[in-house]
Structure 1
């Protein structure tokens, strides 16, 4: 208070009204913490018109948030609601004024606390008066708080904003990613070296960090230029959160009588679960987000074992009790559509314990399970899919690439031992990614060839494309020919960069038949430039369903790129899956789809169940890693 009292007249003396308002808000925060609520409110109310006078909308939103919190603590719930609604209205307006997608996403991540507060407040109001449907409004606010950039991306994808962009800009984008990758590789190597504390090494690490930051800014500028120079970009409007983000009746329209939506919102003190059918909705209060996150991490870790232990069963039951116990008797035999939050995004619900069974039985035995980033994304996808004509051919498979000149399939010798600078950068990045997965380079995945050949037996050769060995390369992966297929299947190595999602990728053939190095790194950025109007894209690779967990957006990674490219649904993995087990699972998955006529979600469940019933593949480690995201119909 002493320091603020010294600062306030100085701001006033120089006419800095924004600084004056910020100081007044700081006074309010101190008095609120001291329990002097009326005095705190007085300071907030003095700051508010100052922020408005100078047009500081962010400061205005912050102050309204403070007032909402204070009013709630005094029991004035409707006053709190009025103020938090006003704050969120400003936040939504500010968000739409940010052109850069990355900055828009990062800004939205910083304001998630407002949405969580509003949800919690609405649920408190619902307890006091259940007749006012505050819980349904809380569900709408939960939708408004998540996957908004993805929804805008799906809108963009329909207008083909990034696809077919200026080739020179695409070239710049790719070059910048390679430069970022190379510096990031060198920086990580130095950070783990024995002399990392040496002053010279520290200075080099700092220099590389600055360079990466600058290159990222350039990369984002190029992406913004690609968008804004597209003639159709100006006709796109940002989704109106009030009207375009789904409310309860619209969410219910996306469901059928056999489907139950389970939507989670994890909060600091308590979390919430909405269980929605076409005709009903129930809400439940769950434990705090941190308790659920810890249980989810334990469950995820214990699944990555080749045998089922008492500990893994205990962890499955513990998490199930935290997040499913309130609805255990409502699940029946329904399809479960999961909109997860926080740490729940990385766990396979299929392997959770069915609480109605006496002993451990995975949830998949009685339930087909589908994941969505938000309920609104399925509505956006469906709007786009209604106009799409099915592709004429059935299946394209890229599998068993050749990663090394020492591979027995290489029949010649390289014409030149020199490697081009751009490929040198690519190899450096791929080597670092391999080390981050605790791999010594990219070993051949022999079972992917078996997987591919067995799957291809299910389809006439006139309706399929077989790209194995050297043909499983970057050129085929980015070929226009792939637009002709309803299913695309990539059986190879994949990885996710948790720090910079745009550097996540799929590894394809890195050498030709003579052992000459070729480009084989299909990045997330490349996927955004592809046109894959597929009914299903399968990434039969490690950790392809993970990504950087960004508040308000969820996991940002390869799944997002594939949805942008046009996939109606994707099948991806949540950990480093077993090569042979994955091959067995995928063969059964395709038999269920192509011979039994099941949807991808139904087929995955049937395949997982078959492995669960097998003594060789009984452990969830072999079958639970894969999930289906997107359209379930």
Structure 2
């Protein structure tokens, strides 16, 4: 019985452009059994010949044809074709329709490989008719699959899907799991080529366990590479490498050189994306001879193209052209229009860089209709972007605007097809890093300078708003819609189990570092943790797809400048929105009545100053980490740095600041900057901090505030005032475990401890007696029946999980914080790690735990270190605890930007709550007044002590 058909897979890969870097050239995914599987179609090695009573002459010719096919050269394919034609005649003469169908299928595959697609279709259709005539459903499924492959190669993806969807149920009907696995993989490839990466991933994840179940290592390797390519295309390079490194040894194990070549090329593409051009070139040069040896022209074309890409990036444009010129005819020879389009775009990019604009334009205009014909949206977006760059240099700004807007429309559409939050973020970050939105904003500002009355400055602001915190905006809309309501309980249980396994694995990893361990042990645990985090993200994507409320949810769109003026701002508030660019940056100053924009220096200059200022804030000398609390911070050095940064960021709007609340929407390094500590422009030698005259609010995007207000609208005020979790027990040798009391408040002055847990791996975690002091001070302001407090061993995960925090208007965590920039999901707060008997308990309250909270709090205070930080993702800002608590149901948070001092924070928080509860101030007002008191003190005036805490979210 014949098994499944063949795979011949192609994909868009990586390319460089003159100014933008977007996915555009060809790096094909081959069939991991391109040569081997045809031998199964033609029966070689399957032992099926003996099952039929037919022509002995036909059997001999068929077997010889299969052997010639396996040689893989163009000449051997022609010879194989002759053998199969003779076998076909013999079987027809013998009346053996089943074997006749096999030979027709084999001939069709050879014509397909020789790029004679229409002839291939003719033979496949003859084979299909005979398979149906003899009732061979397995053979029918195989042939349908092969017909789909041809239509996919021709760019007719919908017809390809139609054939695959006819093949799939037949394979399932006859229990052909290998054939089912192949067809599922091919369906995934179509969706991937069309830019629907999430759907592609879903099909690959159905295919993979089937190939493993039947022990088909070759198809398993194909699918692993295909999955890796999805992650690579979406910017998650490390996960892509993990999959490629699983695939490569399997291809080598089964002797699949074509599959090996594809995976090597794919690994090279990842290293190229990571900026390691030499390593990329090494992998491409390993791949090329394998493709050439197998006569795999599509793979050869792809690798030649990618080698050209590296030489272009290294500045050797003539060598790049040489490789592109070798790649292009091969793509055309095998009918790979997607590959042809990518290489044409790359050639155009070289000519553009050489200054030959007309030749570049000709190549781009050849590429664009091809990418559209095959439905390759990624290459189409790249080519449109390159056309925009080119037309701008020619002075055709309006045409350039049309092209870049069309490219961004494609990007936006592709983004919405990704259900995974992590992949949506990484894809958007990749697009941002490649410069599409930055170019769009800069082009609009150039048009504004030429036509100041046309509103291009407002369009540039709108583009800036579209380019930031999009995932946060969407998850807040999901929270408002309660998309988890009504989902399958099994999915909830799976999610809970995964979260528990993640916590256990991360705890095990931390414990490992406290003793002797090998690099292999550490790496094994890290890989296990990465896999669990990926599985959790995939499961949450599935929850979104299966949620009726998510299906009905309209994706939120960022607000325009006019909507922000109407819905967000008031007459007392000035919005300062920053956008950092490679050549120049911009600052918009927006009030309810005006939108004005100012040009700032390039990103690199702002980053250098911003990073310097942030480092100064965290210098141990300024933190007073010695036990002598009278250490004098080097305030003049801080002031000099702050003055220079203020001059750069604020002097353009100095005349607009007076009397205004400042709503700051930062970009890049500015997310780390405490604007409250920057001197007011024009304040002279006194260097008056902005805090003195301004209430300052931070937001990841202006649109975020609108959706937070929508989330908060109509909610009833929680019946109780405050829930406090403070002074957990971290170590077995803590005095409280041995029966002694906690550290007395009178001893606090001699203890200088900060609230950072960034050194928790392998080291003791110090107690934080100041957190009890601040919590007890807060309790003194609230009636006993309106507060909940959890100290010592009760300051635990169990307490948080078993307390209905939605009953409290304020939720206060006073403990250590920890931030994982590589895996934001692991960031969180440290609660009690031991119980009364000294037994270890899980006390790490991570971001995924925070997302599961149900809050109705008007404010959440994270009185710990670095709780306002996270992974800095281009296009998202800081991904960390803030978004988790906003998702859980609070419109505002007080968070910190660096490692804060325990005692100083206790003083600040006591003052903050005194003003919040006794003087009925808003959280924004109360925080500012508490910080002003500290600024006026003798021993806390350094901004290190007071400027770390910022208010994120709603100021009202």
Q: Which TM-score applies when normalising by structure 2?
A: 0.61
- Flag the 1:265–1:180 CA change in 2: closer, same or farther, 3 A: farther
1:205–1:409 distance in 2 versus 1, CA, 3 Å: closer
Shift of 1:176: 4.1
1:287-366 counterparts in 2 under 5 A? 287-304=601-618, 305-306=622-623, 307-358=633-684, 359-366=686-693
In the TM superposition, 1:5-404 aligns within 5 A as 5-112=325-432, 113-162=435-484, 166=489, 167-178=492-503, 181=506, 185=510, 201=519, 210-239=527-556, 244-253=557-566, 254-304=568-618, 305-306=622-623, 307-358=633-684, 359-404=686-731
- Corresponding residue of 2:881: 558
SS of 2:599's partner is strand
Q: Distance in 2 between matches of 1:43 and 1:179?
A: 55
Which of residues 774, 794, 809 in structure 2 aligns to 1:471?
794
Structure 2 Cα separation of the partners of residues 137 and 18 of structure 1:
33
Is the 8 Å Cα contact of residues 435 and 441 (structure 1) preserved in structure 2? Answer: no
Q: State the secondary structure of the residue aligned to 1:132.
A: coil
TM-score by length of 1: 0.91
Question: Do the aligned partners of 1:163 and 1:530 also contact (CA within 8 Å) in 2?
Answer: no
Given that residues 758 and 819 in structure 2 are in contact (C-alpha distance below 8 angstroms), is that contact kept between their aligned partners in structure 1? no
User: Which one has the largest radius of gyration?
Assistant: 2
Asked whether the equivalents of residues 261 and 337 of structure 1 are also in contact (C-alpha less than 8 Å), the reply is yes
Tell me which residue corresponds to 2:893: 570
Name 1:515's counterpart in structure 2. 838
Instruction: Give the 3 Å change call, closer, same or farther, for CA 183–34 of structure 1 in structure 2.
Output: farther
Change (3 A) 1:302 1:230: same
Task: Measure, in 1, the Cα distance between the counterparts of 2:431 and 2:396.
Answer: 23
Shift in alpha-carbon separation, 1:608–1:403, aligned structure 2, 3 A: same
Per-residue deviation at 1:516?
2.2
Aligned to 2:925: 602
Distance 2:533 2:367 in 1: 37
Q: 2: CA distance between counterparts of 1:161 and 1:616?
A: 50
Whether contact under 8 Å (1:24, 1:46) holds in the other structure is yes
Distance in 2 (CA, whole Å) between partners of 1:182 and 1:595 is 41
1:444 aligns with 2:758: no
CA contact (8 A) 1:183 1:212 kept: no
The Cα of 1:230 is off from its aligned counterpart by 3.2
Q: CA deviation at 1:90?
A: 0.4
Structure with higher helix content: 2
Please give the alpha-carbon distance, in whole angstroms, between the structure 1 residues aligned to 2:585 and 2:512. 39
CA offset at residue 405 of structure 1?
Answer: 2.2
> Post-superposition shift, 1:436?
3.8
Q: What is the CA-CA distance between 1:25 and the residue it aligns to?
A: 0.6
Deviation at 1:189, TM superposition (A): 8.9
Provide the C-alpha distance between the structure 2 equivalents of 1:96 and 1:309, rounded to a whole number of angstroms: 48
Which SS does the other structure have where 2:793 is aligned?
A: helix
1:393-436 CA-to-partner distances (Å, cap 9, x unmatched) read 111111111112222222579xxxxxxxxxxxxxxxxxxx9464
Quote the offset at 1:598 in angstroms. 1.0
- Quick one: distance in 1 between partners of 2:925 and 2:654? 21
CA-CA distance at 1:515 after TM superposition: 1.8
1:33–1:234 CA distance, 2 compared to 1 (3 A): same
In the TM superposition, residue 204 of structure 1 has moved relative to its aligned partner by 6.3
Give the Cα separation in 2 of the matches to 1:29 and 1:441. Answer: 55
Moved more, 558-567 or 350-359: 350-359
Against the structure 1 CA distance between its residues 451 and 330, is the aligned structure 2 distance closer, same or farther, given a 3 Å change threshold? same
Q: Tell me the CA shift for residue 532 of structure 1.
A: 1.2
CA distance in 2, matches of 1:406, 1:183: 20
Q: SS in structure 2 opposite 1:170?
A: helix
How big is the shift at 1:529?
Answer: 0.8
Check 1:464–1:183 CA distance in 2 against 1; reply closer, same or farther (3 A cut): closer
State the Cα distance separating 1:173 from its structure 2 match.
Answer: 2.5
Q: Aligned match of 1:526 in 845, 849, 855?
A: 849
Q: Deviations over 1:208-235 (max 9, x none)?
A: 6654443333222222233334332222
518 and 438 in structure 1: CA distance in 2 versus 1, 3 angstrom threshold: closer
Deviation at 1:616, TM superposition (A): 1.8
Change in 2 beyond 3 A, CA 1:189/1:268: farther
What runs of 5+ residues in structure 1 fail to find an aligned partner?
414-432
Spell out, residue by residue over 1:241-276, the C-alpha distance to the aligned partner (whole angstroms, 9 max, x if none): xxx311111111211111000000000111000000
8 Å contact 2:587–2:600 — kept in the other structure?
yes
C-alpha separation in 1, matches of 2:534 and 2:729: 34
Alignment-derived partner of residue 426 in structure 1: none
Decide which moves more: 135-144 or 308-317: 308-317
1:412–1:515 contact (8 Å) kept in structure 2: no
CA distance in 1, matches of 2:449, 2:507: 55
Q: Aligned in 2, Cα 1:209/1:411: closer, same or farther, shift over 3 Å?
A: closer
Aligned equivalents of 1:494, 1:526: Cα separation in 2: 14
Number of residue pairs the alignment of both structures matches: 602
Q: State the alpha-carbon separation in 2 of the partners of residues 17 and 179 from structure 1.
A: 49
1:133-186 Cα shifts (integer Å, max 9, x gaps): 100111111111111100110011112235897441232221342365368658
Change (3 A) 1:187 1:476: closer
Deviation at 1:34, TM superposition (A): 0.4
